[in-house]
Amino acid sequence: MKKALNWIVISAFLIFLVDWAIIGLKLLDNNDEFYVEAWLALFCLLVIVICALLKCMFFQKCPHCGKTLWSKGAYCPHCGKKL
């Protein structure tokens, strides 16, 4: 599941980059019609943000107290034990 999320994020990011390249080329070509590309970029960004949040919420938990860890550190901010 964690690997699948990583792959979704990587694919969405690659699609996002290619999408921006297409928008850039259209702008250089004085073509202002890139609504589909703009919506696709927004969708990719949403997918990336949602996957990052899901990853934090479900896969970064303290092994001692089980609470979600929003930052990376050597100690759990909730129970204070070493991670």
Q: Which residues of the shown chain bind Zn ion in the complex (CB under 5 A)?
A: 62, 64-65, 76, 78-79
Q: What DSSP letter does each residue of 31-52 carry, written as one string?
A: ----HHHHHHHHHHHHHHHHHH
Closer CB to Zn ion, residue 36 or residue 65? 65
Closer CB to Zn ion, residue 3 or residue 72? 72
In angstroms, give the least distance from the CB of 54 to Zn ion.
20
What residues pair up with 82 in beta bridges, in sequence order?
A: 75
Rg (CA), the chain: 18
Closer CB to Zn ion, residue 55 or residue 60? 60
Helices and strands, counts by H and E, the chain? 2, 0
In angstroms, give the least distance from the CB of 58 to Zn ion.
16
In angstroms, give the least distance from the CB of 71 to Zn ion.
13
